[in-house]
Structures are given as structure tokens and as C-alpha cells.
Amino acid sequence: MTAEQLLYSYLIVFGLSFSVEALLSFLNLRHVQENAGAIPGVFEHVVSEEEYEKSVAYTITKSRFGIIQHFIGSLFLLAFVLLGWFGVAESWVSGISSPLWRGVSYIVLIGLIFSLIGIPFSLYSTFVIEERFGFNKMTFKLWLVDFVKGMVLSLLLTVPLLYGLLWFMEATGTYWWLYAFFFIAGFQFLLMYLYPVFIAPLFNKFEPLEDGSLKERIYALADKVGFNTAGIFVMDGSKRSGHGNAYFTGFGKNKRIVFFDTLLSSLKENEIVAVLAHEIGHEKLWHIKKMLVISLLSMLLGFWLLSLLMSYEPFYEAFGFLGKSNYAALVIFSFASSPITYFLSPLFSSFSRKHEYEADAFAISSVGENDSLPSALLTLSRENLSNFTPHPWYSFFHYSHPTLKERIDAMNSIPVP
Ligand SMILES: [Zn+2]
């Protein structure tokens, strides 16, 4: 394949993924507008007219914004590919004599340019959209502090990571992809271990959950299902946003349960326990470990594919690079593979939805009733102004969780132990 044919093939796949995404977003937007007039039957008695109208307005605003963001982001990427901007950026770092440092600087530079492009979108989303719907709790100062901290942290982490990766590519010969895989996977495990104790506290405060009936019920549940944890923490999520959540973090001795304070204030005790039982379900049913294995295997596959492609000169010429180099190979691979992996997203989404159904069933059998979890999910959907009527194709393609109606229907059909 010549460089030109390679470029055209990329543009065709890119155009296809762009069009499919635009079509799905458009269908979803129209579906919500068509259903805006009346609350769907299943939610009639549990969602007020005002809440429903607000959720429709929020979904429409966010979908329109998403379409514009997708369009502008794609235009920038196309400009880089078609106007030779990748090569222009290469000439900026060509004075650095060490090839490893030149590579690190180039990738950091490209990463920086793309994060700068993202700034106006982040600002608009936080201070216009989230603000209008009453979710934003951030001041501009906090946004800026977060941004600077995030940048410094990602530099501190990516520079040694990139340096190591480029070193393995350079020094370990044909099997570099295997060495690089173990290096990156090791780095990831280290980060997962350190994240709850050293990284997350840079952005939020974590307080142990207060003693009381909630804590007792949570420990009783953890005991019953045989779940060990290094602690239950409450995070000051309300410092930034009104959206609520709960999650697990870390592993081994650092494994923690984290509740957003916003979640604790909007749910009743039995609902919080049911949400936690669902999260424990993910852990006990090996979902988190399975997902980790899948992501590691895809990384291994990616590195192996890259090792096959990178010796091929037209690959660099096609995307406007000045010549063959390890860092260019990494950059090309990371953006050129994304329209291809886009078409795999329904596969990953459906896999994740299967896990959600399983965790719901686990929660119901652990708490011994099927009222608390559905009512918790309903409250969270109402408070987060979730889309009550997504287009089925859109949710099939993108939703990592089944829709609220699907989940409630599934839970109602489970016999209570
Ligand atoms: Zn889940």
C-alpha cells in the first residue's frame, strides 16, 4: 500500500465513524424531543412533570454541545493529518539531540496542544451548562487550581512513562512490545495501588464514614457476603458538582469504598446499602478483574500490531510526519486506531451491561429485597437529570449501563430470596 492509499483508507474509516456517531447523536436527540410532551408510562407516578421537563432540557442541551464538540475535535484532528501539522510540530523539537528526550518532548507537546483545544469545552460545560442546571459548585479559581494540578501531575507521570516506553522500543529489539507491555502494566498496577492514598487526596478530602447505623449496616452486609475493605470513606464531591456517585478504588491493603457526600445526602439508608451491595457485586463476581484483563490484553495486542506496522515507511509519510521514528509510531497508532476501536464500542458496552444486570441481581440477593435498589436508581436518575428516553440504537452503542427502565424491569422479575 502506498502512503496515499493508506491515507485514503484512514480517511474512509474516520469518515464512517464520524458519520455513525453523528447519526446516533442526532437520532438520540430527536427521540428525546419526540418524547418530551409526556412522561413515559413507567415513570408517570415517580417523576414529577417539572423534573421530567428539566431532564429533557438538560439532555437536549448536552447532546447539542456533544455534537458540536465532536465536530470541532474531528476538524482539528483532520487539520493535523491533512495540513501536515504533525510534521510542523516535529520541526519544533528537532533541535533536541537526545532521541529519547526528543520523543518524550514531541508526545508531550502533541498532548498539550490537544488538551489546550479541550479547555474552552471544559469551561463551557462547567460554567454554562452545569451552572444553568444547578449542578456546578465550582468557582473559576477551583477550576484553575484543578487544571494546573492535573497538568503537573500528568507531566510527572507521563514523562518517566514515555521515557521508559521509548527506551524499551529502542533497546530491546524485536520483542520490545512484550517488554513494553510488562513495563506499562507494572506502572498501571503501581498507580492503582497508590491512587487512593496519594493521588485522589490531592483533589478531594476523604473522611472515614461516621459511626452510626449506616456504618453498622454496611459492615454487616460486607460480613455477610465476605467482602474485605480497608475502610469506607466519604468524599467531598459537593465541592465541585451536585452529581452523586459511589466507587471502589485501590486494591490489596488499599482497597476502599468511597461515597460522594452528595450520594449520602440524597439516598435513604436502605438505598445506600443496596447501592453498595451492587458495587460489591462487581468485585465479588470478578467484573473488575475481568475488565482489567481485557484492557491488558488489548494493550498487548496493540503493541504487537504496532511492532508489525512501525517498520513500514509509508505509515509515516501518509500522516505528514518527517520520517520514521518510534515516537511518531506511537502518536500515529494512538489516533489512527481510534476510529477502528470506535466500532468495537457496542461489544464493550454490551459486556458491561451484562455485568450491571449481574451486579443488580447480586445486590438483591444480598439485601434480601428488591425495592431499595430500584428506588435508589430512580432517585439518582431524577437528581442527575438522566435521559429517561434514550434512543435504543444510541443506548445499544454507548451505554455501559442498561437504561433505567431495563434495569427496573429486570430487577422486578427476580424472585426475592
Ligand atoms: Zn454497576
Determine whether 334 is exposed, middle or buried from the number of CB atoms within 10 Å of its CB (0-12, 13-18, 19+): middle
292 and 249 assigned to the same domain: no
CA of residue 349 to ligand 1 center, whole Å: 12
CA of residue 279 to ligand 1 center, whole Å: 6
Q: What is the pLDDT of residues 101-114, one digit of tens each?
A: 999 999 999 999 99
pLDDT of residue 12: 96
Instruction: Using pLDDT thresholds of 50, 70 and 90, give the confidence band for residue 7.
Output: very high
Instruction: Using pLDDT thresholds of 50, 70 and 90, give the confidence band for residue 227.
Output: confident
pLDDT of residue 248: 80
Residue 175 has pLDDT above 90, yes or no: yes
CA of residue 70 to ligand 1 center, whole Å: 27
CA of residue 247 to ligand 1 center, whole Å: 9
121 and 154 assigned to the same domain: no
296 and 321 assigned to the same domain: yes
Measuring CA to CA, which residue among 404, 178, 413, 126 is closest to residue 303? 178
262 and 357 assigned to the same domain: no
* Average pLDDT value for residue range 376-399: 93
Instruction: Using pLDDT thresholds of 50, 70 and 90, give the confidence band for residue 65.
Output: very high
Q: Is 232 left (phi over 0), alpha (psi -120 to 50) or beta?
A: beta
pTM to 2 decimals? 0.89
pLDDT of residue 42: 80
pLDDT of residue 194: 87
* Average pLDDT value for residue range 332-357: 94
CA of residue 6 to ligand 1 center, whole Å: 40
Catalytic residues: 279, 360
* Average pLDDT value for residue range 322-335: 94
Q: Which amino acid is located at 343 in the chain? A: F
Residue 228 has pLDDT above 90, yes or no: no
Residue 230 has pLDDT above 90, yes or no: no
128 and 210 assigned to the same domain: no
Q: How far apart are CA 390 and CA 29, in angstroms?
A: 8
Instruction: Using pLDDT thresholds of 50, 70 and 90, give the confidence band for residue 177.
Output: very high
CA of residue 69 to ligand 1 center, whole Å: 28
166 and 191 assigned to the same domain: yes
Q: Which amino acid is located at 297 in the chain? A: L
Q: State how many domains the chain has.
A: 3
How do 256-260 and 232-235 pair as beta strands?
parallel
369 and 298 assigned to the same domain: yes
pLDDT of residue 257: 87
- Percentage of the chain beyond pLDDT 70 is 99
Domain enclosing residue 178, as ranges: 150-199
How many other CB atoms are found less than 10 A from the CB of residue 175? 12
- For the chain, report the end-to-end CA distance as a whole number of angstroms: 62
CA of residue 55 to ligand 1 center, whole Å: 22
Residue 150 has pLDDT above 80, yes or no: yes
pLDDT of residue 122: 95
Instruction: Using pLDDT thresholds of 50, 70 and 90, give the confidence band for residue 149.
Output: very high
CA of residue 287 to ligand 1 center, whole Å: 9
In a domain, 174, yes or no: yes
Residue 343 has pLDDT above 80, yes or no: yes
Instruction: Using pLDDT thresholds of 50, 70 and 90, give the confidence band for residue 40.
Output: confident
Q: For residue 252, what is the domain's CATH number?
A: 3.30.2010.10
Q: Which one of 199, 217, 239 terminates a domain?
A: 199
Residue 252 has pLDDT above 80, yes or no: no
381 and 411 assigned to the same domain: yes
Place of cell 518510534: 326
CA of residue 355 to ligand 1 center, whole Å: 7
122 and 32 assigned to the same domain: yes
Of residues 231 and 124, more confidence is placed in: 124
CA of residue 353 to ligand 1 center, whole Å: 8
CA of residue 208 to ligand 1 center, whole Å: 23
91 and 56 assigned to the same domain: yes
In a domain, 273, yes or no: no
Q: Which one of 241, 266, 291 terminates a domain?
A: 266
Residue 294: how many CA atoms within 13 Å on its side-chain side?
A: 11
In a domain, 144, yes or no: no
pLDDT of residue 415: 83
pLDDT of residue 250: 75
117 and 156 assigned to the same domain: no
3-state secondary structure the chain: CCHHHHHHHHHHHHHHHHHHHHHHHHHHHHHHHHCCCCCCHHHCCCCCHHHHHHHHHHHHHHHHHHHHHHHHHHHHHHHHHHCCHHHHHHHHCCCCCCHHHHHHHHHHHHHHHHHHHHHHHHHHHHHHHHHHCCCECCCHHHHHHHHHHHHHHHHHHHHHHHHHHHHHHHHCHHHHHHHHHHHHHHHHHHHHHHHHHHHHHHCCCEEECCCCHHHHHHHHHHHHHCCCCCCEEEECHHHCECCCCEEEECCHHHCEEEEEHHHHHHCCHHHHHHHHHHHHHHHHCCHHHHHHHHHHHHHHHHHHHHHHHCCCCHHHHHCCCCCCCHHHHHHHHHHHCHHHHHCCHHHHHHHHHHHHHHHHHHHHHHHCCCCHHHHHHHHHHHHCCCCCCCCHHHHHHHCCCCCHHHHHHHHHCCCCC
Residue 417 has pLDDT above 80, yes or no: no
* Average pLDDT value for residue range 86-103: 94
126 and 154 assigned to the same domain: no
CA of residue 388 to ligand 1 center, whole Å: 18
Of the candidate ranges 135-144, 242-251, 299-308, 314-323, the one whose mean pLDDT is the lowest: 242-251
Measuring CA to CA, which residue among 233, 240, 280 is closest to residue 259? 233
Residue 249 has pLDDT above 90, yes or no: no
